Amino acid sequence: MTSKSTGMTERELIDHGFRYALSLTHHEQDAEDLVQTAFFRLYRSRGRVEHKALLITTIRNLFFDQCRRKRNKLVITLDNPEELIQLPSPTQSLPGTNLDMDELLARLRPEEREALYLSAVDGCSASEIANLTDQPRNTVLSLIHRAKKKLQAVIAREENRMKRRDYHD
């Protein structure tokens, strides 16, 4: 079924929503849950999902609601200690560094990741992101700028570390 307003099929909306949710959560399972919950809520309230912007806004609101709940409730159980072990990410390292994209993006706050994703991947303008996220345009510009600066600094530090290591080898 194709949406009249966006020209996107439901599958394309799901894929787009999943990529956006993954940019926020960095976990496939959590991203799938967000998209499923968003679609369920939109179908329940509207009977259909037509607008990409409405889907993105719903996913965003669900994600930040979950973040607030998690911040208020931190529970660590020792029933399964192996769950505490962090496995390395399967993604490839950036050229010339030992960092992968997941590690880099994990250093950003969720708001910065979101703004950077919408700008770099979706190609949204600062004004469009401001409308989607219900923030002032200048705040969005600041988030994007800070995110890029943080990533550049981390990459530069890692490249310097690698050069020093290669020099001493």
Q: Which two tokens stand for residue 3?
A: 């949406």
* Residue 33 phi, psi (nearest 5): -60, -40
Residues 134-169: pLDDT tens digits? 899 999 999 999 999 998 888 888 888 877 776 665
Position 76 pLDDT exceeds 50: no
Biggest alpha carbon distance in the chain? 64
CATH of domain 91-169: 1.10.10.10
When pLDDT is cut at 50, 70 and 90, the band that residue 71 belongs to is low
Q: Which two tokens stand for residue 14?
A: 């799901």
Q: Residue ranges per domain, the chain?
A: 1-73, 91-169
2 vs 134: which has the higher pLDDT: 134
Q: How far apart are CA 114 and CA 34, in angstroms?
A: 15
Q: How far apart are CA 7 and CA 121, in angstroms?
A: 19
- Radius of gyration over every alpha carbon of the chain, rounded to an integer in angstroms: 19
pTM (predicted TM-score):
0.55
Closest among 146, 54, 159, 45 to 97, alpha carbons compared: 159
Q: Which two tokens stand for residue 161?
A: 């570390």
Residues 17-41: pLDDT tens digits? 999 999 888 889 999 999 999 999 9
